[in-house]
């Protein structure tokens, strides 16, 4: 995880925004650089994503349009009619080798949009017209991991308490539950943790908390009365993957209260083909990205046979400890 930001780029339109000032107060030693528009820096040509990732810079900006996006086919909608996501931030402080953001964005710098109230307004408008909304907050970032200096998760939970037809999913790998533990649990909010075997965390999910730390955080969240979703997604076919994921299922069964788990989501590696091409140019040392994937309609994924094998290994391992009705498959 980052230690601090050496430079912070600030759009002129938000320079005096109260939230900008709050964020800047967290990094008093950062060099502040005014900019006209975040895209002038974020989208410029000839950036080196891997070098930037070693010391990402912070960009504070105003979101002016597209406050809601339809959910991607790569993500499960959990049977919700209106499945959308928003982009309160672009990029993540973690460095997972399989992350699609590396192929989606030209820059590894972290963009934070400070005008949350405009997001709230547009969300209210959607609810007024459509009646309900399932909204994923941590699509292009890990929002809870940013909470110490960008407390958007808390604000959205408070906003959701006033909108009974709004369901929020907040997906994370962080252990930062303590930053929102004082809030009243909301049955319409799902806190979802991506979980992997420790060998994957050590070698592929760089900078992320350990498996034990995530499990301990999930159990605290369950005990506090929140809905918790466990996401074993993506399942990666690393060496001895069957052993590692069977062991993971055993650990989850022993250390989590099954009654406190709303759902376990299981999915294999899948990605937009163009994104994968971009990523493999940047991460030539990542063996998981050079698997002989199956290509179909601009989507790359494990083959049908490999996918079936994953299901036949992981799902029965989970069913030893959790009710089959709790397990959801999320495959393309």
User: Mean pLDDT score of the chain, rounded to an integer?
Assistant: 94
For the chain, give the percent of residues with pLDDT over 90: 91
Condensed to tens digits (0 to 9), the pLDDT of residues 247-282 reads: 999 999 999 999 999 999 999 999 999 999 999 999
Instruction: Tell me which long-range contacts 196-200 makes (C-beta under 8 A, separation of at least 24).
Output: 196/232, 196/236, 196/248, 197/244, 197/245, 197/247, 197/248, 199/238, 199/244, 200/236, 200/238, 200/244
Q: How high is the pLDDT of residue 111?
A: 98
pTM beyond 0.85, yes or no: yes
Question: Is pLDDT above 90 for 243?
Answer: yes
Q: How far apart are the first and last CA of the chain?
A: 31
Mean pLDDT for the stretch of residues 137-153: 95
For residue 96, name the pLDDT band (cuts at 50, 70, 90).
very high
Q: Other CB atoms closer than 10 Å to residue 281's CB: what's the count?
A: 11
Question: Is pLDDT above 80 for 72?
Answer: no
Question: Is pLDDT above 80 for 3?
Answer: no
Q: Other CB atoms closer than 10 Å to residue 212's CB: what's the count?
A: 13
Give me the phi and psi of 307, to 5 degrees please. -65, -45
* Cα gap 308→149, rounded to integer Å: 42
Question: Is pLDDT above 60 for 77?
Answer: no
């Amino acid at each position: 995880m980052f230690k601090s930001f050496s430079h912070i780029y600030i759009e002129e339109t938000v320079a005096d925004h109260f939230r900008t000032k709050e964020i800047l107060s967290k990094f008093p030693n950062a060099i502040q650089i005014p900019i006209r528009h975040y895209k002038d820096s974020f989208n410029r040509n000839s950036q080196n994503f891997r070098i930037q990732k070693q010391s990402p810079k912070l960009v504070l900006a105003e979101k002016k349009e597209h406050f809601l996006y339809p959910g991607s086919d790569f993500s499960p909608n959990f049977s919700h009619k209106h499945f959308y996501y928003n982009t309160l931030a672009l990029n993540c402080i973690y460095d997972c080798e399989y992350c699609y953001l590396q192929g989606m964005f030209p820059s590894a710098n972290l963009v934070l949009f400070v005008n949350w109230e405009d997001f709230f307004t547009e969300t209210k408008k959607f609810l007024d017209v459509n009646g309900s909304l399932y909204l994923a907050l941590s699509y292009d970032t890990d929002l809870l991991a940013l909470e110490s200096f960008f407390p958007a998760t808390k604000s959205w939970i408070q906003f959701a308490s006033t909108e009974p037809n709004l369901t929020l999913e907040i997906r994370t790998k962080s252990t930062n539950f303590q930053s929102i533990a004082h809030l009243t649990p909301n049955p319409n909010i799902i806190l979802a943790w991506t979980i992997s075997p420790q060998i994957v965390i050590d070698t592929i999910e760089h900078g992320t908390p350990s498996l034990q730390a995530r499990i301990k955080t999930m159990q605290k969240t369950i005990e506090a009365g929140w809905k918790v979703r466990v996401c074993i997604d993506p399942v990666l076919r690393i060496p001895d993957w069957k052993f590692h994921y069977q062991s993971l299922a055993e650990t989850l069964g022993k250390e989590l209260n099954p009654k406190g788990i709303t759902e376990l989501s299981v999915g294999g590696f899948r990605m937009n083909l163009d994104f994968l091409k971009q990523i493999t140019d940047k991460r030539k040392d990542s063996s998981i990205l050079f698997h002989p994937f199956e290509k179909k309609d601009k989507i790359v994924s494990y083959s049908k046979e490999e996918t079936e094998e994953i299901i036949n290994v992981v799902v029965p391992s989970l069913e030893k400890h959790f009710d089959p009705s709790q397990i959801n498959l999320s495959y393309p």
